[in-house]
Amino acid sequence: MPLTLRMHHTHPMRRTPHTRHILPTRRVAGSKARAPAGADQQHDGSAPVTLPVDLRVYTLNALLRACYLFTDRCYVFLRRTAEHEVAVDFRSSGPDGDMDDIVGLFGNELLNQRLRADIARETKDIRDRIVAQAFAEADLGNSGT
């Protein structure tokens, strides 16, 4: 019997108020306050650029996957700063690293990883059915010899 695929309606994505949590920030010297990345300070490459990530918006798994993808561009350090927040510290691994650009790209990759996980979860049943059907149709026991 052939496999019949039925697509279900997915809801369009909408912006949430939590998007403010992916803005890059830097620690102000001698203070616990954070200044926006474009503030009147120069990044000398030695101080880390800090990005707070809200774990209610992005899963820890998505965060770790995004961090792994950036280990060839810079040094990445994680530390918990609150119950639902992890600070990602980026430190340049070379003289030519534009940390503001890296942090911006990291924010995009973090979103990408979150959406990949959502899509995988939403399509799990259909993928399982496709794989099961493929194995059911394959005659693995009789290879024709």
Tell the CATH topology of 45-134: Alpha-Beta Plaits (3.30.70)
pTM of the entire structure?
A: 0.62
Tens-place pLDDT, residues 13-49: 444 444 434 444 444 344 344 433 433 334 555 688 9
**Residue predicted with more confidence, 22 or 137:** 137
Give the span between the Cα atoms of 102 and 2, in whole angstroms.
Answer: 48
3-class SS letters over the chain: CCCCCCCCCCCCCCCCHHHHHHCCEEECCCCCCEEECCCCCCCCCCCCEEEEEECCCCCHHHHHHHHHHCCCCEEEEEEEEECCEEEEEEEECCCCCCHHHHHHHHHHHHHHHHHHHHHHHHCHHHHHHHHHHHHHHCCCCCCCC
So what's the pLDDT on residue 144?
A: 56
* Residue whose tokens read 């979860």: 121
Residue (of 104, 113, 105) closest to 66 by Cα position: 113
So what's the pLDDT on residue 93?
A: 86
Residue (of 84, 76, 16, 18) closest to 51 by Cα position: 76
